[in-house]
Amino acid sequence: MAQCVSYQSGSIAGAEDGERAYAAVESRRGGPGTGLGCAVNVEVRDATPADLPATLAIYNELIGSTTVEWSEHPQTLDERRAWFERQRARNFPSLVAVVDHEIVGMTSYGDFRDSFHWPGYRFTAEHSIHVRQDRRRHGIGRLLMDELIARALRGGIHVLVGALDADNADSIRFHQTLGFVEVARLPETGFKFGHWLDLVLMQRMLDGPSGPA
């Protein structure tokens, strides 16, 4: 099975809302013993309603076998549609990564805590990111986060927070690589598969130290 080792050779910075951002992710090798390179073109763009079944499948593939998501029940398409409409209504981004016309990852952010009732939280957002299992470690997660952070900066977000299962070492490492710092560990705040789960909060400051104008 050919295994690509990837690096980002393009930049997606500067794409405007609603525009499509492209990046070429190229391989240093095409697989063990092949001596060949390969290139994968990744498009990062705003999600549309037509993308929801594919993003739902990526999300649900983790529910039954991991504690990445603290739910024991797969999400339904109706629930996903309702979430998507709430994102749109709040003007929060929902992005997808596309390779060969297939959705291979998605990311979004929303309220960290309810900023409608507690507006003091409005410059802080909590994000979520998922890359399809067979497409991980190809730089796609980084591309998605780069674009999400660009959107967050344009949206006036000051701090981005990731709330991660403490056993999710891959994601903790990923976030550390992207400049997120662990700021809190909340023991036994979750429960799944018959045991308690710890929550790790990681945050990245997006803009300077000055407050909003």
Ligand X SMILES: CC(C)(COP(=O)(O)OP(=O)(O)OC[C@H]1O[C@@H](n2cnc3c(N)ncnc32)[C@H](O)[C@@H]1OP(=O)(O)O)[C@@H](O)C(=O)NCCC(=O)NCCS
Distance of CA 113 to the CA centre of its chain: 18
Among 20, 28, 86, 137, binds ligand X (CB under 6 A): 137
Which of 122, 178 has the CB closer to ligand X? 178
Q: How many binding residues for ligand X (CB under 6 A)?
A: 19
- Distance, in Å, from the CA atom of 117 to the CA atom of 131, rounded to the nearest integer, reads 32
The reply to whether 12 sits near ligand X by the rule CB under 6 A is no
Tell the residue number behind the tokens 């045991």, with chain if given: 195
Question: How many whole angstroms separate alpha carbon 41 and alpha carbon 7?
Answer: 12
Among 12, 55, 94, 138, binds ligand X (CB under 6 A): 138
Where in 63-122 is the site for ligand X (CB under 6 A)?
68
CA–CA distance, 53 with 197 (Å, rounded to integer):
29
Task: Give the nearer residue to ligand X in terms of CB position, either 104 or 208.
Answer: 104
Q: Does 164 bind ligand X (CB under 6 A)?
A: yes
Question: Which residue in 16, 85, 170, 188 binds ligand X (CB under 6 A)?
Answer: 170
Residue with tokens 């929550």: 199
Report if residue 180 touches ligand X, rule: CB under 6 A. Answer: no
Does the protein bind ligand X through residue 141 (CB under 6 A)? Answer: yes
Q: Does 128 bind ligand X (CB under 6 A)?
A: yes
Residue 168 lies near ligand X (rule: CB under 6 A): yes
Distance CA 175, CA 128 (A): 11
Binding to ligand X by residue 174, rule CB under 6 A?
yes
Which residues are registered as beta bridge partners of 125?
111, 160
Considering only residues 49-68, where is the footprint of ligand X by CB under 6 A?
68
Look at residues 112, 181, 174, 97 and name the one whose alpha carbon lies nearest to residue 143.
97
> Is position 203 an interface residue for ligand X (rule: CB under 6 A)?
no
Residue closest to ligand X (Cβ): 141
Strand order in the sheet with 21-27: 6-8, 21-27, 39-46, 94-99, 102-111, 124-131, 159-165, 195-205, 181-192
28 binds ligand X (CB under 6 A): no
Stretch that binds ligand X, among 38-46, 115-123, 132-140, 151-159 (CB under 6 A): 132-140
Report how far residue 138's alpha carbon sits from residue 159's, in angstroms, rounded to the nearest whole number: 26
Provide the residue type at 207 as one letter.
Answer: D
Structure tokens at 196: 């308690």
Q: Which stretch binds ligand X (CB under 6 A): 12-20, 32-40, 82-90, 137-145?
A: 137-145
Please give the residue ranges that form the binding site for ligand X (CB under 6 A): 68, 128-131, 136-142, 164, 168, 170-171, 173-174, 177
